[in-house]
Amino acid sequence: MPCRDAAGLPIGSATERIVFRSSATEADHEPKCRYSHTTRMEKDVTSHMPKDVTPLLPFPVRAVKPSRAVARRKPLAVAGLFAGIGGVELGLRKAGHESQVLCEIEPTAQAVLRRRFDGVPLHDDVTTLRSLPKGVELLTGGFPCQDLSQAGKTAGILDGKRSSLVGEVFRLVKKHDVPNVLLENVPFMLKLDSGQAMHVLADAFEKLGYSWAYRVVNSQAFGVPQRRERVIFLASKEIDPREVLLGEEVQEPTPPADPLGKLACGFYWTEGIRGLGWAVDAVPTLKGGSTIGIPSPPAIVLPNGEVVTPDIRDAERMQGFPAGWTAPAATVAKDSCRWKLVGNAVTVDLFHWVGKRLRAPLPAGALLDGRRIKANAGWPSAGWNCGEGRFGTELSTFPCIRSREPLADWLRHPGKPLSLRATNGFLERTTRSSLRFPPRFLELIRQHQRRVSADARG
C-alpha cells in the first residue's frame, strides 16, 4: 500500500529525515542501562546499524502539516470510565483536555489514579455512577470486549436494563446527551460474533443520532517499541469523527528478515507451541494475563545474545507512561500487580495523538475510498457512518510514524535474565511445536540456557 496523505497524494515528494529520538520522560534523568551502545539522544536511524541491516523505516515520510488542519478546537471536559491507570486520560491531558471524573473499580488502579490525577473525583463501580459532572463533552472508556457480545445477545444496550458494562456507557451518554464518545478495545471486537457485535455498537450510536468512525491503530506508530493494536472508536454529534481518526496514514514499516545479533527482538517465553509473538526491534503486546495464568513480561533477545525480561519501569515506558507511574499500586498489593495494570492499559502516546487530532482535525479526503459495510460481512481496519451509511476501508495501522532509538538503546533499566525454569519450559514447548522459528533464534536460547544453568550451579 503506498503512503498517502489526506489529500490522497503519494507521500514522499517532500521528505523528512527519520531519526530515532527518545521521548522526554522521568526516565531521561536516570542512568542509561548497560545495553546502551551510545549515550546520544538523537541519531540518524541508519548510522547505528551495521551496513547489511535494512533500516526499519526505509521510506521517506512526510508529515501532514498542521496548517492543513480543519480548524483548531478548544480542549474538552472529559469523563473517564474504566480508567485503569489512566492511559487514555494522560494522553488526552497532554493534548490539553481535562478530566472531570474518573471511574475505576480495581483498588490497585485506583491507588495509581489517586496519586496521578490528584484532585479529580474518582468513583469505583460504573454501575453505581448515577451521573456525570455538568458540562462533560467527551466520555471515554474501554469496556470488556466480550461484554458487547452479551449486550447484543441479551437485553440490548439501549433498553435501560443494566445487562452489561457497555450498557452503562450508553445509560450515561443518554442521560447527559454527551456530544462525544471515545471507546477503545481489542481488534477482536471487529470479529466478535462474526462482526455482529460491531453492528450492535453502531446501531446503538446511530439510533442516538451520532456519526461514528473507527480505526485499528498500532502503538509502534507513536514512538514506543511495543507492537500493540487497538480499535479506537469515536462517536460524535458535533464533529466529523473521520477528521480525527482517518485524516493521515503512512506505510507500516517492514522489519528486516534476519535481525538477530543486530537488533533486539521480543517474544513471549510463555508460549512457543502455537505462537511466538515475534517482534523485531520491539516487544509483542504487553498483556494483563498470560497462557500460564499470571501476567508475565515478554522476553527480549538482545543483540549480544542475552535473553532478558524488561524491568517494570521500562514496561511502563513501553506504554508511554513515565517510569514509576504504577508504583502507588504497590501500597495496596504486591509489586507484581503492576504488570497486570500496565498490560491492561492503553498506550498514552496513542491517546495523545487522538487528543491532538480532536483539537486540530485533518480532512480525511481521499483516504475515505470506502466500500459499503454489509450486515453479514466482516469489518475492515477502518470504517465510518457520517449520515450516508456504513463504509469501510483498509487503512494502515500507522496514522503517522514517530521516531525513536532502537530498542536495545531505548531500555533504561537492566532487565532480568530469563530464568532457567522459564527457559527450560519454553524450549520444551518448542520441541512440540510446528512453528517456524527465526533463523538462529533457538540456538541463541539454548546458549542462554547453558549460561543460566552454569550460573545456577555457581
Contact positions toward ligand SAM, by CB under 6 A?
82-85, 87-88, 103-106, 109, 125-127, 142, 165, 344-346
Q: How far is the CB of 414 from ligand SAM (least distance, A)?
A: 26
Rounded to the nearest angstrom, the gap between the alpha carbon of residue 310 and the centroid of all alpha carbons in its chain is 18
- Active-site residue list: 145
Please list, in sequence order, all residues whose beta carbon lies within 8 angstroms of the beta carbon of residue 329, skipping any fewer than 6 positions away. Answer: 85, 108, 109, 111, 112, 337, 338, 341
Q: Which of 238, 246, 198, 225 is nearest to 354 (CA)?
A: 246
269, 336, 289, 430 alpha-carbon torsion, rounded to 10°: 10
Q: How far is the CB of 86 from ligand SAM (least distance, A)?
A: 6
Q: Are 396 and 248 in contact (CB under 8 A)?
A: no
- Beta carbon nearer to ligand SAM, 166 or 418: 166
The Cα 226–Cα 268 span in angstroms is 13
Q: In the numeric block, which cell numbers belong to residue 338? A: 503492576
- Beta carbon nearer to ligand SAM, 90 or 445: 90
- Beta carbon nearer to ligand SAM, 84 or 361: 84
The Cα 315–Cα 321 span in angstroms is 9
- Beta carbon nearer to ligand SAM, 164 or 381: 164
Q: Are 385 and 206 in contact (CB under 8 A)?
A: yes
Residue 426, helix vs strand vs coil: helix
Q: In the numeric block, which cell numbers belong to residue 380? A: 475492515
Q: For 210-230, give one letter per residue: b (16+ CB within 10 A) or e.
A: bbbbbbbbbbbbbbbbbbbeb
Instruction: Name the one residue in this structure whose C-alpha cell is 538503546.
Output: 409
Instruction: Name the one residue in this structure whose C-alpha cell is 491517546.
Output: 351
- Beta carbon nearer to ligand SAM, 65 or 162: 162
- Beta carbon nearer to ligand SAM, 84 or 310: 84
Please list, in sequence order, all residues whose beta carbon lies within 8 angstroms of the beta carbon of residue 414, skipping any fewer than 6 positions away. Answer: 33, 34, 35, 308, 311
Determine the residue with CB nearest ligand SAM. Answer: 84
Instruction: Name the one residue in this structure whose C-alpha cell is 535494512.
Output: 54
> What are 206's strand-pairing partners?
none
Q: How far is the CB of 397 from ligand SAM (least distance, A)?
A: 19
Q: How far is the CB of 81 from ligand SAM (least distance, A)?
A: 7
Q: How far is the CB of 321 from ligand SAM (least distance, A)?
A: 9
> What are 235's strand-pairing partners?
181, 212
